[in-house]
Chain A
Amino acid sequence: DGGITQSPKYLFRKEGQNVTLSCEQNLNHDAMYWYRQDPGQGLRLIYYSQIVNDFQKGDIAEGYSVSREKKESFPLTVTSAQKNPTAFYLCASNRGNQPQHFGDGTRLSIL
């Protein structure tokens, strides 16, 4: 989606390794979100942040960490504690109760 950039598009993780997924937005949105998508399971919320320097756990936060040091950036770290990290990760942002805008996603696989 225009305005939200996720990188990389594909990422491979070795056992015991932490990896960080990037999400940047230039829409001046206050809120940002990370979702995990597995086949047939829709989108599940990992973490969200409604303001800089603050973030909240979503439904499946275990094994993940985030930071929100800048309004435009919300990186997600998939830690080695996440035992089943293979999935499609989507970042989104919005303002207030407006619809969410999504990035193109990152596909993470285990080597």
Chain B
Amino acid sequence: GQQVMQIPQYQHVQEGEDFTTYCNSSTTLSNIQWYKQRPGGHPVFLIQLVKSGEVKKQKRLTFQFGEAKKNSSLHITATQTTDVGTYFCAGVPGSARQLTFGSGTQLTVLP
């Protein structure tokens, strides 16, 4: 089936370092959503991007939607231990009718 690919699968960073996760689809996405899941918790919605080339910021988090609406990224500046968790992108690719989640990037922040 149609997939939304996400890399890397795991990322370990030292506290204070930056972090980026990338999301790619082979088909155009109508929009892209990002969720964060803390260890042992459930996914929590962070943001939605709709427009081609859109960039949104939430404090130290920067979200981008590609010009072709096929890729997206989440960048965290100066990571903190509170950033630990798995970050998922999700979109509706091509002719799919429902949201498809990426496999997630598990972020570990070492103090």
- Let me know if B42 and A99 touch, CB within 8 A: no
Q: Which residues of B contact A99 (CB under 8 A)?
A: 33, 45, 48
- Let me know if A48 and B43 touch, CB within 8 A: no
Q: Is the interface of A mostly helix, strand, loop or mixed?
A: loop
- Let me know if A101 and B103 touch, CB within 8 A: no
Q: Which residues of A contact B43 (CB under 8 A)?
A: 43, 90, 100, 102
- Let me know if A1 and B44 touch, CB within 8 A: yes
- Let me know if A97 and B42 touch, CB within 8 A: no
Given contacts A42-B102, A99-B45, A99-B48, 5 further A-B contacts (CB under 8 A): A33-B98, A41-B103, A90-B42, A90-B43, A104-B41
Return A11 CB to nearest CB of chain B, in Å: 16
Q: Which of A56-111 contact B (CB under 8 A)?
A: 58-59, 90, 97, 99-105
Return A38 CB to nearest CB of chain B, in Å: 10
Q: Which residues of A contact B45 (CB under 8 A)?
A: 99-101
Nearest B residue (CB) for A6: B42
CB-defined interface of B57-101 with A at 8 Å, one 1/0 digit per residue? 000000000000000000000000000000010000000001111
- Let me know if B42 and A40 touch, CB within 8 A: no
Q: Which residues of A contact B106 (CB under 8 A)?
A: 40
Residue B111 CB within 8 A of the other chain: no
Nearest A residue (CB) for B41: A104
- Let me know if B1 and A42 touch, CB within 8 A: no
- Let me know if A43 and B88 touch, CB within 8 A: yes
